[in-house]
Structures are given as structure tokens and as C-alpha cells.
């Protein structure tokens, strides 16, 4: 079983729509969760972090965490073509205090 799982996509959304990305993790003791955006050929860029159950909003991005179900999600509202990228979910595992990344979900926003 992969430690952090994401659907590889591509997730195709029309411009202006909501993109919904999901991530599940196996380490129940994990406490910190992150979403990184990575454009093709570029390095990952941190866009959201979340530590408590519930929603956290930052601009057009909303992260949602449910520790009981071991999933974290990212919503991108009013999607723009510039949001087209691969979104990486990262989980700080309780054991060893290290970030484990999922394989990423590729998002394509079509004008």
C-alpha cells in the first residue's frame, strides 16, 4: 500500500469551474499536511498547509482535512488556465518526522 495516494489524472476542468483533488494517507499518526503545486519542469511550490480537521481557505484554494478518514483534499475555485499544473500532496509522518509525497494529480484547466 502506498503511503500517500493521489489520482494521477489528468483532471480536466473548464475555466471558472471548481477543481477537486483528493489525497489519502496510511499513517494514522500524521499531523501535518501540505499541498504543493509543480509546473512542468519546475520545482514544487507550497500553496497550502493544514493541521486540524476541517477547512482552511486561502484565496481561491481550500484545503479540507479529515483525520478519521485519513484524507485531505484541495479545492480550487474559479479555476484559471494558469492553475494547470501537477498538485502534490505531502504528509508529515509521525514516525521519523519526514515528509512523504504522493505521486501528484495533474490538473488541466481548459479555456
Partner 1 sequence: ETGVTQTPRHLVMGMTNKKSLKCEQHLGHNAMYWYKQSAKKPLELMFVYNFKEQTENNSVPSRFSPECPNSSHLFLHLHTLQPEDSALYLCASSQDRFADTQYFGPGTRLTVL
Would you tell me which residues interact with partner 1 (CB under 8 A)? 4, 8, 32, 34, 36, 41-46, 49, 88, 90, 92, 96-104
- Smaller CB separation from partner 1, 30 or 64: 30
- Smaller CB separation from partner 1, 49 or 70: 49
Q: How far is the CB of 68 from partner 1 (least distance, A)?
A: 21
Find the radius of gyration of the CA atoms of the chain. 13
- Smaller CB separation from partner 1, 37 or 62: 37
**Based on the number of CB atoms within 10 Å of its own CB, is 14 exposed (0-12), middle (13-18) or buried (19 or more)?**
exposed
Query: How is the chain split among helix, strand and coil, in percent rounded to 5?
Result: 5, 55, 40
Amino acid at each position: 500500500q502506498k503511503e500517500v495516494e493521489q489520482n494521477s489524472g489528468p483532471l480536466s476542468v473548464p475555466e471558472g469551474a471548481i477543481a477537486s483533488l483528493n489525497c489519502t494517507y496510511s499513517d494514522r499518526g500524521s499531523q501535518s499536511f501540505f499541498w504543493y503545486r509543480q509546473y512542468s519542469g519546475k520545482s514544487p511550490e507550497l500553496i497550502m498547509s493544514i493541521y486540524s480537521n476541517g477547512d482552511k481557505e486561502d484565496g481561491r484554494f481550500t484545503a479540507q482535512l479529515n483525520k478519521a478518514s485519513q484524507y485531505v483534499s484541495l479545492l480550487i475555485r474559479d479555476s484559471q488556465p494558469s492553475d494547470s499544473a501537477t498538485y502534490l500532496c505531502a504528509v508529515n509522518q509521525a514516525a521519523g518526522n519526514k515528509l512523504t509525497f504522493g505521486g501528484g494529480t495533474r490538473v488541466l484547466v481548459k479555456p
